Chains A and B, each alone.
Chain A
């Protein structure tokens, strides 16, 4: 599980690759929190294009960051989830609070 970050406009793009489960959730959460705080940006985009597996531990990470970012007046978006990840996101109703886009460029538009 790797997390790489970059900036686009007023958003931090957090690209996750590998498998996101309970084993690495705490580490990813900590890295995300510190990188988002250090970046001083308003919005957060999860780029899931290279995420090969996610279970409900990943949902917890997304919901947690949504709470943090929206409390600061920012917006969270999800880009390019796999079919498996998107089914999980929709099952949990995540798409109702965090918009899902087919690509990073579409997710970054307007942020």
Chain B
């Protein structure tokens, strides 16, 4: 049976910790390993941080976190209604950052892709960005 949780929160950096802890708590029902929990927390933290820094550029807004569990498969969708990404392929290149002055490492999407089983990004300039990640829990 599918289980779904939706959380809407302000695009403030203080909520990054809340979002990853919420994701970890949601995943806990599937009895994941410590490593699986760490993977989920890291990937969700990256996606939420991207929404705050790049989507809204620190100007505030709302971040939408949707979490679904179906069998042992977890799906996390992080969505913003910010400025969007003009060139997704470029944004996803390892070490690419549009904000080098902020000491961003440019590894956010690479981390999401590496720590989760799948990553899909859809975006359009002015319409926001949707990041969907899945993780199968082996426990």
Interfacial residues, chain A to chain B (CB-CB below 8 A): 19, 21-23, 25, 29, 53, 55-57, 59-61, 63-64, 83-84, 87-88, 91-92
Give how many A-B residue pairs fall within 8 Å (CB-CB): 63
Interface residues of B toward A: which range?
20 to 34
Q: Does B68 contact A (CB under 8 A)?
A: no
Q: Does B35 contact A (CB under 8 A)?
A: yes
Interfacial residues, chain B to chain A (CB-CB below 8 A): 13-14, 16-17, 20, 35, 38, 41-42, 45-46, 49, 52-53, 102-108, 110-111, 114-115
Nearest residue in B to A65 (C-beta to C-beta)? B103
Query: Which of B14, B17, B35, B111 sits near A91, CB closer than 8 Å?
Result: B111
User: B103 to A56, Cβ gap below 8 A?
Assistant: no
Q: How far is the CA of A19 from the CA of B49 in the complex (A)?
A: 14
Q: How far is the CB of B101 from chain A (nearest CB, A)?
A: 11
User: A88 to B111, Cβ gap below 8 A?
Assistant: yes
B residues in contact with A25, CB < 8 Å: 103
Give 5 CB contacts A-B under 8 Å.
A22-B52, A53-B20, A53-B45, A56-B106, A60-B105
